[in-house]
Amino acid sequence: MEAKENQGELWEVFLQTKPGQAFKHVGSVHAFDKNLAIENARDVYTRRGEGTALWVVPSKEIVAVTANEAEYFFEAADEKIYRHPTFYSMPEGVKNM
C-alpha cells in the first residue's frame, strides 16, 4: 500500500517519574521536529503529573541488539561469575561486608 501522506517521524519517549530516578521508556509519538515531539510527548504521556522530566529521541537514532543476537552478544558476561559478590567465600562471623 502506498503511503499517501506524511505523519512525521517516530520518536521514543523517556520519562523520569521523580527527581533522582532513572529515565524509563514509556512509548512513542509521531512528530515533525523536536519541539513538536516534546510537546506531543507531554500531551500523550503526562496528563496526570506522571513525570518531572522528559526526553524524546528519534527512533531511527536508537541502536539496538535484537533478541536473536542477544544470546551471543551477552554471552561473555555469563562466564565472569566472579563479578557477583556471592562468588566469594567469607570466614564465619565477618561483619559489615
Partner 1 sequence: MEIIAASTEQLLADFESKINAEIKIEPRDWMPEEYRQNLIRQMSQHANSEVIGMQPEGNWITRAPSLRSKKILLAKIQDEGGHGLYLYSAAETLGVSREELIQALHEGKAKYASVFNYPALNWADMGAIGWLVDGAAITNQVSLQRTSYGPYSRAMVKICKEESFHQRQGYEIMWRMMEGTKDQQQMAQDALNRWWWPALMMFGPHDSDSPNSTLAMKWKIKRESNDQLREKFINKTIPQAELIGLKIPDEHLQLLDNETYKHGDINWEEFWAVIKGNGPCNQQRLEHHIRAHQEGAWVRETAIESAQKNKI
For residue 52 the three cell numbers come to 518531572
Binding range to partner 1, per CB under 8 A, among 2-10, 14-22, 83-91: 2-10
DSSP states of 16-52 as a string? ESSTTSPPEEEEEEEESSHHHHHHHHHHHH-TTS--S
For 12, the 3-state DSSP assignment is strand
Minimal distance in Å, beta carbon 29 to partner 1?
A: 7
Q: Is 39 in the site for partner 1 (CB under 8 A)?
A: no
| Type of residue at 66 | T
Residue from 17, 38, 42, 44 binding partner 1 (CB under 8 A): 44
Q: Is 32 in the site for partner 1 (CB under 8 A)?
A: yes
From the CB of residue 38, how many other CB atoms can be counted at a distance below 10 Å?
A: 17
User: Which spans of this chain sit near partner 1 (rule: CB under 8 A)?
Assistant: 1, 3-8, 10, 26-33, 36, 43-44, 47-48, 64, 66-69, 72-73
